Amino acid sequence: MENNNDSIFEKSIRRGIEKGCISLSEDESRVTYHCSRDYSTSFKNPEEKVRAAYFAELVLDYQYPKRRIDLEVSVPRRTPEDRADIVVYEDNERKRPYLVVECKKDGISDAEFKQAIEQVFGIANSLRAKYAIVVAGTTRTAFDVAGFRPSEREKNVISDIPKIYGKAPKYRFIKGDHLNDIKTVLKDELIRALQKSHNTVWQGGRLAPTTAFDEVSKLLFCKLKDEKDTLRRSPYKFQIGTHETAEDVFKRINEIYQKAKQQDEEVFKEDIRLDPKIVYSVVEHLQGINFSRTDLDTKGVAFETFMTDFFKGKMGQFFTPREIIRFMVKVINPTKDDLVLDPAVGSGGFLLNSMDHVRKYAEANYDPEEAWKHWHEFAQHNLYGIEINDQIARVCKMNMIIHDDGHTNVINADSLKDFEEIQTIHKKFKKDHFDILLTNPPFGAVVKATEKDYLDKYELGAKNKKRKSQKTEILFIERAIDFVKPGTGKIGIVLPDGILTNSSLQYVRDYILERCQILAVVSLPQFAFSHYGAGVKASLVFLRRKAEGEELGNYPIFMAIAEHIGYDATGRRDPQNDLDRILEEYKKFQENPKNYKGV
């Protein structure tokens, strides 16, 4: 796997500098192209970086002679400022234009991309060039201009420009081919590609953002499936081939989807509901990116950023801030053999961070092959989640697929229903079964006896005392304790402070103390969840379920207050994070609880 911090543009520019096609001024503010002449210009514009990278590719990968390439070429019958970014000629005298290149920065809209296509066609037709290409960062579309009438924009699309005056290839991206394989990308490039795809599908508001997200997820699912299933030396299916229409591309992508859907009906039950032209545009944005081999942390942050942008507001309750998740996972410290459950799984943060925790341990302690097997087995067999919202359950599964799997043990159900009912969906969601439970249950929602038939089955519900309703977070405490193993099962749960302080809720505290050893309580600042649409003051509570008949007597409990948690009330990063120090202190406490002096 490529493992450096250069973007795909920077890699090409670096190669161009090494091979003498390009040079930069000492302060890197200007670039000089060594083509048919030495052409210098400012290097501060993002478009210029795209042009420099593509110029290097033309010379080094496509093998066009530098002396036959010119930049900023004036075009007959066009306005003086309408110049060609790059022109490749067929002859040394540069009389016969062969290829016209229009460069745009990464992340432009579909409308701007279409405008760039019209611009490149105007120039190519005026110069009578045979080929044209628009390069907008990672999105590229090439055309056979000479072989079609001037107004054609679909049948004349080619997979890529020819190499050194040859024929356009049927497909550009070939698995395992050093030059033509898809490439790993940096976090920002991946975020831009996902956002471009979402904007294409969203169509400026014609679909609800969450529906658009669903459709992008289906296409991402196809992309990941294609990367895994394509054989070495074979062309990927998730790409646009020479002279293929939108219908041709859609048909091939839909075949991947339908086949995957049969193998795994739980992830996506519905068909792709997009016009072939929309699918075609998304393929343009994603076809050159290698998701499978892009670094896991990069994928995780990119998908989370992309996801959170579209699910803020009413969906905000499904996202626990990653600083809090990471801290809770480190306190609980899952290992490869632990069965981990989140009964209010949301987008999967606790499960994925548990996987990451085990992965980092494996990578630090085993050789690469053993490490990979160690954490992949954990991801596939030991991570479990329940999510009541069908759409968010799919988001969670997609999130897990992007992180190399574990999605088969995430189910769409109500965690508070009878165990027997939950087990009809997945038999492993058993009582007294899990080693670790990590969760941020929904706060404030009320379960009414008239609406749900399970309230009288909960001791904290209406079993022992007639109650017409109970708050979900209180029922979740009882359910969490029931899910973990007696004697050893550990729980990390986010709870509103009212449960810990209100005199009217003493019966809830008594219930917890009867059944659990309290390991730690960490108080969070008021704003901890305000950025996510919830202003409730909360604490993190860590428990161990007691064995049947176990008596503890008096015992020490680790208590801490966090005022800084790595982000502020607006969600901006705060360089201070008390949780790091609290974790260190908790480790000291664990070593010798009775003699721990505190800070």
Mean pLDDT of 300-306: 77
pLDDT for 394 equals 82
DSSP string, 260-306: HHHH-TTT--SPP-S-HHHHHHHHHHHTTB-TTTS-HHHHHHHHHHH
Mean pLDDT of 427-455: 90
Residue 273 has pLDDT above 50, yes or no: yes
Who wins on pLDDT, 440 or 397?
Answer: 440
Phi, psi at 33, each rounded to 5°:
-95, 125
Mean pLDDT of 371-389: 93
pLDDT for 1 equals 33
Which H or E element spans position 522? strand 516-523
Residue 314 has pLDDT above 60, yes or no: no
SS3 for 358? helix
Tokens of 454: 């399970």
Which H or E element spans position 556? none
Tokens of 65: 């002679």
**CA 455, 457, 463, 467: dihedral to nearest 10 degrees?**
0
SS3 for 565? strand
Mean pLDDT of 294-314: 71
For 162, 239, 315, 552, the CA distances from 143, given in Å and listed in that order, are 11, 15, 42, 76
Report d(CA 316, CA 323) in Å as an integer: 16
**CA 342, 348, 349, 353: dihedral to nearest 10 degrees?**
80
Check if CATH label 3.40.50.150 holds for domain 312-595.
yes
Phi, psi at 455, each rounded to 5°:
-60, -40
Report d(CA 58, CA 164) in Å as an integer: 9
157-158 vs 139-144, strand pairing mode: antiparallel
**Which residue from 572, 573, 595, 596 is spatially nearest to 584, judged by alpha carbons?**
596
Confidence band of 3 (pLDDT split at 50, 70, 90): very low
Which H or E element spans position 102? strand 97-104
Which class does domain 8-158 fall in? Answer: alpha beta
Which H or E element spans position 7? none
Report d(CA 521, CA 57) in Å as an integer: 57
Phi, psi at 365, each rounded to 5°:
-120, -10
pLDDT for 312 equals 57
DSSP string, 112-169: HHHHHHHHHHHHHHHHT-SEEEEEETTEEEEEE-TTS-TT--STTEESSPPSTT-PPP
Tokens of 522: 């960490």
Mean pLDDT of 217-232: 92
Q: Going along 336-489, which residue ranges are E strands?
A: 340-342, 383-387, 410-412, 436-439, 446-448, 469-471
Report d(CA 589, CA 424) in Å as an integer: 42
pLDDT for 350 equals 94
Tokens of 590: 């664990």
Mean pLDDT of 21-48: 95
Report d(CA 558, CA 521) in Å as an integer: 6
pLDDT for 534 equals 62
DSSP string, 221-243: HHHHHHHHHSPTTSB-SSSPPTT
Residue 181 has pLDDT above 60, yes or no: yes
Tokens of 337: 């053999």
Confidence band of 80 (pLDDT split at 50, 70, 90): low
Confidence band of 311 (pLDDT split at 50, 70, 90): low
Q: Between 187-202 and 110-127, two packed helices, what is the crossing angle to 10 degrees?
A: 90
Confidence band of 568 (pLDDT split at 50, 70, 90): confident
Confidence band of 2 (pLDDT split at 50, 70, 90): very low
The reported pTM is: 0.80
**Which residue from 299, 305, 298, 306 is spatially nearest to 224, judged by alpha carbons?**
299
Report d(CA 372, CA 354) in Å as an integer: 15
SS3 for 467? coil
Mean pLDDT of 290-298: 82
- How many H helices and E strands in the chain? 17, 21
The per-residue pLDDT for range 93-142, each reduced to its tens digit, is 999 999 999 999 988 989 999 999 999 999 999 999 999 999 998 899 99
Who wins on pLDDT, 70 or 595?
Answer: 70
**Which residue from 399, 406, 412 is spatially nearest to 305, judged by alpha carbons?**
399
Decide if 8-158 and 312-595 have a common fold.
Answer: no
Residue 405 has pLDDT above 70, yes or no: no
Enumerate the domain spans of the chain. 8-158, 187-286, 312-595
pLDDT for 293 equals 84
Residue 433 has pLDDT above 50, yes or no: yes
Residue 73 has pLDDT above 80, yes or no: yes
Residue 232 has pLDDT above 80, yes or no: yes
Query: CB–CB of 107/195 below 8 Å?
Result: yes
Q: Going along 190-302, which residue ranges are E strands?
A: none
Mean pLDDT of 418-423: 94
pLDDT for 287 equals 96
Tokens of 330: 């480190």
Contacts of 444 (CB under 8 A, 6+ apart): 471, 472, 473, 496, 536
Report d(CA 381, CA 435) in Å as an integer: 13
Mean pLDDT of 299-323: 69
pLDDT for 531 equals 62
Report d(CA 228, CA 60) in Å as an integer: 29
84-89 vs 69-73, strand pairing mode: antiparallel
pLDDT for 532 equals 58
Contacts of 549 (CB under 8 A, 6+ apart): none
Residue 315 has pLDDT above 80, yes or no: no
Who wins on pLDDT, 173 or 292?
Answer: 173
Mean pLDDT over all residues of the chain? Answer: 90
Q: Would you give the DSSP letter of residue 5?
A: S
Report d(CA 115, CA 365) in Å as an integer: 53
Tokens 């019958």 found at: 77
Confidence band of 478 (pLDDT split at 50, 70, 90): very high
Report d(CA 363, CA 485) in Å as an integer: 29
Q: Would you give the DSSP letter of residue 91?
A: S
Name the strands in the sheet holding 22-24, side by side, starting at the edge strand that comes first in the sequence.
22-24, 30-34, 38-42
DSSP string, 470-513: EEHHHHHHHHHHHHBPTTT-EEEEEEEHHHHH-GGGHHHHHHHH
pLDDT for 598 equals 79
Residue 77 has pLDDT above 90, yes or no: no
